[in-house]
Structure 1
């Protein structure tokens, strides 16, 4: 049965005011595993989404040997391994260290760095090498030394596992995610540094950009320390408590970084990469593919690693993988393996949380229900809105912003919501759910 009614939007605004963070941050990492219904879960941070071919094979081996054989891509451009045995932490940590995927045990969970995945591949952006920024920022994070017992100053390891650094090459894809600290390349060869991708911003040199981002995170921690407030992210602070550009400029100046205010700065907002062939101004080719519902088998992952023309894979915050320099003749083989290689694919723009049986909190097998709803490939017409299936009201991994269709399991069916309008479907096995989702995904002309 279908019933239409207007309710408050369920993406960002339903969450209301930011939550009070009295408990500790339980965000999983490569060393701190999360126990789920299908076994332990490990989240491997990939700053900038960057992987070598050897590292990609190491993750596939770990997934097959220690986990359930699958790899989940996250909305931060990281990788999760599921179905791990509870006692495999030491072996997993050893494998990751040997592959260079765990350069610092102390900083494992704070290495959250998203970077424009198409930088240098399609001629767009302001020309900055944000992948180099990502490597430099990660090195600076991991070099943060333990404080002296008598030193009460906050340390970077005090950051939440959810705190996000964003490095945008000027196209606006990463800025649209509203990271906690954002560097945006500017046309003059510099960078705009801002909190939560909003103004006011500071103008810093490209060479100083990674260190400036680190100092911005330190300023956030100083605000928490001074106020006594527990918060994991910038947006959880009331506007009057958020770090100010003036205070950050003073911190940068004291550290030898020249910073000028950009009071009229408006961050760009660009679209994420679409699957398919990318063409550089010089005619060079690269490939962009996506993981169906964000999950890959070890065989699919190895196929991607084997297709990499350079010793580099870039995992995107939109659950995709970019292969720099890889020619388009690899695309049919990737498509035949079940990867999303075209924006016309019914799997493009569709995502889902783990759902049953992996998660005890889930009220439905959302991945199976989502797969049953996906219609054949488009043959024209407007691009459907992104859609995300969630097994419970936590909506783990849902899109950060923008218009998207929220398909929420209720225990009796699903609620399908877009722009504040909801359709309730009480029989998920019927065609009603597929029809409600398809209707909700139709853009407003």
Structure 2
């Protein structure tokens, strides 16, 4: 791993929070992700399942975590199962976790090799009444590939049909949405790396540069700062490309006078940051671009203030919609008749701002969090309003990452990343 070691006490605390929510006499099992094939003998880079990482810190394929807080023996309460390393594996694939190193990473004392898993699980099944299975119930999930967890669930239900089934995901949705201080520090570090990449761009962008050259500048800066790279597929959308919300081709030439909508950010230690900025190819915004930019910025700043404990998700977006409606009226993009005759299910402002304003952020870019429950302190959210005007050839989105505070305004983890027009123009025209 490129990232520096994480204090294992984070994972010890996370496991304690999870097991405190488990039913009596129950077992929970968490599997690593698969390594997915491409073709021939090539594979996609391994990305660890965020749940087993959250609970153990293990960032390695073919790993299993078993939690049994009511186990009859102390050594059975927490168990890790790892792919057995060897000199051959070390030569061909690189060093894998030893049992000693796994304890240093996770704080789990009982570590077995993976070939012992089924035998030991069988013993645990004779002691327990319920097993927690780990299904993906994220509100954005659309999984078409059978995962390692899926295969385990299918096998376990056939093998042990008399046991009760419980779900780990509702517990994790709540736990992972409220961050420990160490997690906020890791997200902050990802934001710092993102800042370095963005500042690098401000001295690089000029007319006739390509979107993919901008992407290359960012990946260079991210990796040299211990990131694996982008937290998500980067959007580098010049001109009218910005009006395609998930534009990822990044293959066009940036033309003088156009804007570039950047939705790009680094990960660090599997934690995401998520940044959007919109900058002028020529180094200066036109008067019209400034007007729209500042309208988006005002909405972002006011929306940020609403992210406080007790805020309800639906009402938050209703209030942001009111802010955006006011700004669009001021820009002449909609008129009072549009508002008076709007469809309540698709308000007038949605013509120019059609996506949500915020989402949870953490180990996943669209992180866990139950949207029907009130916001809590130490939740981390994006704030990302935008105005998209195909008829005028540009779109603007601005996005920061903020932490809900117990009292006062949210903490902006990206407050050092340039966003005001004057600062961006100054940095692009030294």
TM-score (norm 1): 0.27
**Greater C-alpha radius of gyration:** 2
Greater fraction helix: 2
Greater fraction strand: 1
